[in-house]
Amino acid sequence: MKTHPDARRWNHRYTQGGDGWLNGRPRRLLLDFVRLLPASGLALDAAAGVALHGLFLAERGLHVIALDISEVGLRLARQRARVKEVWLETAVLDLSSPWLPANTFDVIVNFSFLERATFPVFRRALKPGGLIFFETFLKTDPNVDYPDHYLNPGELRRAFSEFEIIHHAVTEVTGECSARQKITEQLIAQKQK
């Protein structure tokens, strides 16, 4: 079986970075709006990497499923979950052709990753009243490499327009892999009950 090029690249990065990846902090968006999180339920950490966000959610009482294309990142996440004694399940999944069961998750988090095929899947997979926390990079340069990896302005708001928008902002963040400032679009939205 041939390994997806993205899996090879991320497996290499997580192997080289080791536990350093686990020393990061959850995104400010999640920290600033932690009060919105339910005390229990099922959460999805999409494109989780080492599941910093999933571990954060699990420490708050949520059962978490972390999905990522990197088996190495998920292995590191499982090791950290055992140390912290929290409930975190993982599955290797290429999110370019996702499927998730309908009305299943109380919370979905998606940070620093964009695959437009997930938009309708996330909308369907959230339970009524469920929350999505989404933040990823915004296209500010029309000549950027890999333009499909960047949101168009307002795209998140349009993708979840039938949800109640709790928070929407465009903000500058320091890149995870470099000290360069990048622009992101943030969204917290709740599926109608």
3-class secondary structure for 29-49? HHHHCHHHCCCCCEEEEECCC
Quick check: 106 and 42 in contact, CB under 8 A? yes
Strand, coil or helix: 33: coil
Q: What is the pLDDT of residue 59?
A: 97
Q: Is the dihedral of CA 116, 121, 123, 129 positive or negative?
A: negative
Per residue of the chain (193 residues), what is the pLDDT tens digit? 456 777 777 767 777 876 777 778 999 999 999 999 999 999 999 999 999 999 999 999 999 999 999 999 999 999 999 999 999 999 999 898 899 999 999 999 999 999 999 999 999 999 999 999 999 998 877 777 777 888 988 999 999 999 999 999 998 876 555 556 688 999 999 999 8
Cβ count within 10 A of residue 136:
21
CATH code for the domain of 146: 3.40.50.150
Q: What is the pLDDT of residue 97?
A: 87
Domain hosting residue 44, numbered range: 5-190
E strand segments, 63-148:
63-68, 88-92, 105-111, 126-137
In this structure, what are the phi and psi dihedrals at residue 115, rounded to the nearest 5 degrees?
-140, 105
- Which residue's structure tokens are 């959850």? 26
How far is Cα 193 from Cα 190, in angstroms, rounded to an integer? Answer: 9
Q: What is the domain count for the chain? A: 1
Q: What is the pLDDT of residue 64?
A: 98
